């Protein structure tokens, strides 16, 4: 199926590894010119190089998405290098501060204001900053796609991840409200909710090479992932990436304000 994405420009945040990396590569394979963002420039440039070696077009750009001025500069650099952003994928966001290791998985009663701010800055303000930075151009050009990767924790709540769950839930509400505001400009705004996803950045906690036979913990996890039990695995980056490609395409032009669950049946919230 031709998704009619050739020539479009995308910005994928947190694309230096894992889910973001796969999203960037899948979009590039569809002919999209990709701005590969990461907190670390070397990771962004490495993924951009991988895309170019595969025949695609990409530019690696560094920015802390929690910093609005850095985000504005990044969007301007992408526009200058490959064109204005048509597709924004808000992928950057984690339940713990992997970059610093300072935020532990803990109860809310044991947490503190410093950890709250770090979670909200990355998972909430990161999305607000990137969306605001590309929105005016999309409105002027009468079209665009904004897709935010959230977590099932934001829809169902997750013990020991209260602030993260709240931050992701906020993005769902934000996306629905924004969809109502910008639909008149042919801008689609949607979310993808993912569950546990194994990739190179999750080792050794979630090993992408593990099987239920070799990993007892994985076998226990699959009890809450109905289709995962059948497939013998939890989520992989390509699961989210293919969903993004669909929502970014004209095939989904009548889909907005929605949250697509790509989590193996972990959540079946209506």
What distance in Å separates the CA atoms of residue 98 and residue 155, rounded to the nearest whole number?
22
Query: 213 and 120 in one domain?
Result: no
Q: Which domain holds residue 225?
A: 205-234
Average pLDDT over residues 237-262: 97
Does residue 48 sit within a domain?
Answer: yes
Query: 240 and 230 in one domain?
Result: no
Query: 223 and 124 in one domain?
Result: no
State how far the alpha carbon of 63 is from the alpha carbons of 70, 130, 162, in Å.
Answer: 5, 10, 26
Query: 227 and 180 in one domain?
Result: no
Share of the chain above pLDDT 90, in %: 71
Does residue 72 sit within a domain?
Answer: yes
Does residue 29 sit within a domain?
Answer: yes
User: What are the φ/ψ torsions at residue 145 (nearest 5 degrees)?
Assistant: -130, 130
Tell me what pLDDT residue 66 has: 97
Query: 188 and 106 in one domain?
Result: yes
Query: 228 and 105 in one domain?
Result: no
Average pLDDT over residues 118-146: 97
The total domain count for the chain is 2
Q: 173 burial class (0-12, 13-18, 19+ CB within 10 angstroms)?
A: exposed
Tell me what pLDDT residue 104 has: 57
State how far the alpha carbon of 173 is from the alpha carbons of 119, 124, 176, 258, in Å.
Answer: 17, 11, 5, 10
Query: 175 and 229 in one domain?
Result: no
Please list, in sequence order, all residues whose beta carbon lies within 8 angstroms of the beta carbon of residue 114, skipping any fewer than 6 positions away. Answer: none
Average pLDDT over residues 151-165: 90
The pLDDT tens digits for 3-30 are 999 999 999 999 999 999 999 999 999 9
Does residue 266 sit within a domain?
Answer: no
Does residue 62 sit within a domain?
Answer: yes
Please list, in sequence order, all residues whose beta carbon lies within 8 angstroms of the beta carbon of residue 168, skipping any fewer than 6 positions away. Answer: 93, 123, 150, 151, 153, 154
Does residue 270 sit within a domain?
Answer: no
Does residue 198 carry a pLDDT above 80? no
Tell me what pLDDT residue 254 has: 98
Query: 187 and 148 in one domain?
Result: yes
The CATH number that applies at residue 152 is: 3.40.50.720
| Active-site residue, from 40, 164, 185, 225 | 164
Higher pLDDT, 98 or 187: 187
Q: Is 185 a catalytic residue?
A: no
Tell me what pLDDT residue 209 has: 73
pLDDT category at 270 given cuts 50, 70, 90 is low
pLDDT category at 142 given cuts 50, 70, 90 is very high
Does residue 93 sit within a domain?
Answer: yes
Query: 115 and 66 in one domain?
Result: yes
**Averaged confidence pLDDT in the chain:** 91
Does residue 109 sit within a domain?
Answer: yes
Query: 118 and 210 in one domain?
Result: no
Query: 75 and 101 in one domain?
Result: yes
Query: 123 and 212 in one domain?
Result: no
């Amino acid at each position: 199926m031709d998704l009619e994405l050739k020539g479009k420009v995308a910005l994928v945040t947190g694309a230096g590894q894992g889910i973001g990396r796969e999203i960037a590569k899948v979009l590039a394979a569809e002919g999209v010119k990709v701005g590969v963002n990461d907190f670390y420039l070397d990771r962004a440039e490495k993924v951009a190089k991988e895309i170019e070696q595969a025949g695609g077009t990409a530019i690696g750009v560094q920015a802390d998405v929690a910093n609005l001025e850095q985000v504005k500069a990044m969007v301007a650099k992408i526009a200058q290098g490959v064109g204005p952003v048509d597709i924004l994928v808000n992928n950057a966001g984690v339940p713990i501060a992997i970059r610093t290791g300072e935020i532990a998985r803990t109860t809310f009663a044991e947490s503190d204001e410093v950890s709250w701010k770090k979670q909200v800055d990355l998972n909430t303000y990161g999305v607000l900053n990137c969306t605001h930075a590309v929105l005016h151009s999309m409105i002027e050009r009468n079209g665009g796609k904004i897709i935010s990767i959230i977590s099932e924790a934001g829809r169902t709540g997750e013990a020991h991840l209260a602030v993260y769950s709240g931050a992701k839930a906020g993005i769902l509400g934000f996306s629905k409200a924004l969809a109502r505001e910008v639909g008149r400009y042919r801008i689609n705004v949607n979310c993808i909710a993912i569950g546990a996803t194994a990739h190179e950045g999750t080792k050794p906690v979630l090993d992408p090479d593990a099987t239920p036979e070799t990993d007892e913990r994985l076998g226990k996890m699959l009890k809450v992932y109905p289709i995962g039990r059948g497939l013998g695995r939890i989520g992989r980056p390509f699961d989210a990436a293919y969903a993004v490609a669909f929502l970014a395409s004209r095939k989904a032009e009548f889909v907005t304000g929605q949250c697509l669950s790509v989590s193996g049946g972990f959540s079946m919230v209506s």
